[in-house]
Amino acid sequence: MTKVISISDEAYEKLAAIKDRNESFSKAVVRLVSKSNKRSILEFAGKWSGDIKEADKIFKKIAEDRFLTKIRKTGL
């Protein structure tokens, strides 16, 4: 059964850009929202193959960025 939906031009352009060349939009949506695409973070454990100094630089940058992030109040 086919359903007609409306999406914004921006959403259409983004979907068109990431779908495979011979893939329908429906198949692209199914692939993108499929639970099988979600991977456990445990799959990445032990995968770092870089230098420890490189990792230290990355963690330092992350810490600096977190420090500079401003907390915003919401009007909920």
In a domain, 43, yes or no: no
Pick the closest to residue 28 from 17, 38, 39 (CA basis): 17
Q: At what angle do helices 25-33 and 9-18 cross, to 10 degrees?
A: 80
pLDDT of residue 76: 67
19 within domain boundaries:
yes
Establish if 40 belongs to a structural domain: no
- Has residue 74 been placed in a domain? no
Number of domains in the chain: 1
Quote the pLDDT of residue 48: 77
Q: Domain range for residue 30?
A: 7-35
Q: Is residue 11 a part of any domain in this protein?
A: yes
- What is the per-residue pLDDT for 51? 83
- pLDDT tens by residue, the chain, 76 residues: 888 999 999 999 999 999 999 999 999 999 888 866 677 888 888 887 878 888 889 999 999 988 888 777 777 6
How far apart, in whole angstroms, are the C-alpha atoms of residue 2 and residue 59? 48
